[in-house]
C-alpha cells in the first residue's frame, strides 16, 4: 500500500502485477475499500498491472475535509493516473465505484480505453432513497460505523451468501467496520446528490463489460440489462446466486468474465 496527495487531500492505493497492455484501475463499492478486489487482483496480476485506490475515509485513506460530490472522487482518480504517468487505463467500478466511473468518463474520457460497470446504475436516487441516505448518515454520525452491518449486509449480499458463505460475510463486515464515520457520511451525501448519467451511456465508445448478480436488489439484472442496451459497445453478464457484491460472491466467474473481456479489449 502506498499513498499520494490529491488536491482534496491524501489518498492510498495498492498496485500489483505488470504487463504490456493498459493497466486496470478498480474502484470499490460503498461502504467497503480496495480489499474487496482481492480475488480480481489475484486473477489479473500475472498478466496486467492492477491499481486499487481507497476513497477518502475508507480503508487507509484519511477522511475528506469537506462534503464531496462524485466528481471529487473522480478528480482523485485522475490525479492518481497523473502521479503514475498513465495515459490510458481500463477503468472499472462496482456499485458506488460505478458512479465514480461515470464521473471519470465525464472528466477524462480520453484516458479510458475500456470500461467495467459492475452492480451499478446510471440514474440518480429517487426521493425515497435520498431520504434513506440522509437517515443513514444521521445514524452513522451519531452512532458510528457499527450501525452499518445491520443495515447494509442484507442489501449487499444474496441470501445464499449470507446463509452459506460465512467467510465472505465476515470479510465484508470487516471492511465495512474499517470505514471512518466522516468518510461514510461524505460518501452518502455524494451518492445522494449524484447527477443522472443516463445520457452518457450512448456516448460511451470503448469496449464495456456490464456485469451483475442475479439476486442484486439494488442494481437488478433488469436495470443492468437496460443500461447495457444503451451502451453501443457493451457485453452483459449475469452471475447466478450473487447479489450486489458479485465479484466477492462469485469471484471465479466474475474474474473469468473480466479476464476474457480484457483479452479482447486493450
Q: Say yes or no to pLDDT of 4 above 70.
A: no
Contacts of 65 by beta carbon, 8 Å cutoff, 6+ apart: 8, 9
Counting the structural domains of the chain, the total is 1
The H or E element containing residue 10 is strand 9-16
The CATH number given to whatever domain includes residue 164 is 3.40.50.1820
What pLDDT was estimated at residue 66?
73
H-helix segments, 159-211: 159-164, 166-177, 181-192, 198-201
| Domain around 6 | 2-264
Write out pLDDT tens, residues 119-129.
Answer: 999 999 999 99
Write out pLDDT tens, residues 228-266.
Answer: 999 999 999 999 999 999 999 999 999 999 999 999 886
> What does pLDDT average to over the chain?
95
What pLDDT was estimated at residue 62?
82
Q: Say yes or no to pLDDT of 67 above 90.
A: no
What pLDDT was estimated at residue 265?
80
What is the C-alpha separation between 2 and 43, in angstroms, rounded?
A: 21
Q: Say yes or no to pLDDT of 10 above 80.
A: no
Amino acid at each position: 500500500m502506498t499513498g499520494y496527495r490529491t488536491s482534496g487531500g491524501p489518498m492510498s492505493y495498492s498496485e500489483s502485477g505488470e504487463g504490456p497492455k493498459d493497466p486496470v484501475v478498480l474502484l470499490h463499492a460503498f461502504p467497503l475499500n480496495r480489499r474487496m478486489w482481492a480475488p480480481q487482483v489475484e486473477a489479473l496480476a500475472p498478466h496486467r498491472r492492477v491499481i486499487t485506490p481507497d476513497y477518502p475515509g475508507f480503508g487507509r485513506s484519511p477522511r475528506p475535509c469537506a462534503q464531496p460530490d462524485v466528481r471529487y472522487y473522480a478528480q482523485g482518480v485522475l490525479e492518481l493516473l497523473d502521479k503514475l504517468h498513465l495515459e490510458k487505463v481500463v477503468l472499472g467500478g462496482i456499485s458506488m465505484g460505478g458512479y465514480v466511473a461515470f464521473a471519470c468518463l465525464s472528466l477524462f474520457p480520453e484516458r479510458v480505453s475500456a470500461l467495467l460497470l459492475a452492480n451499478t446504475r446510471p440514474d440518480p436516487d429517487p426521493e425515497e432513497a435520498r431520504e434513506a441516505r440522509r437517515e443513514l448518515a444521521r445514524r452513522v454520525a451519531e452512532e458510528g460505523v457499527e450501525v452499518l452491518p445491520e443495515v447494509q449486509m442484507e442489501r449487499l449480499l444474496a441470501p445464499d451468501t449470507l446463509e452459506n458463505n460465512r467467510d465472505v460475510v465476515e470479510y465484508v463486515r470487516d471492511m465495512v467496520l474499517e470505514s471512518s464515520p466522516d468518510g461514510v457520511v461524505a460518501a452518502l451525501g455524494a451518492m445522494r446528490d449524484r447527477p443522472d448519467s443516463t445520457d452518457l451511456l450512448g456516448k460511451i465508445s470503448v469496449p464495456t463489460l456490464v456485469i451483475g448478480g442475479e439476486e442484486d436488489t439494488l442494481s437488478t439484472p433488469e436495470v443492468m440489462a437496460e443500461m447495457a442496451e444503451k451502451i453501443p459497445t457493451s457485453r452483459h453478464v449475469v452471475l447466478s446466486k450473487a447479489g450486489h457484491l458479485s465479484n466477492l460472491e462469485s469471484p471465479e466467474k466474475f474474474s473469468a468474465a473480466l479476464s476474457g473481456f480484457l483479452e479482447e479489449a486493450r
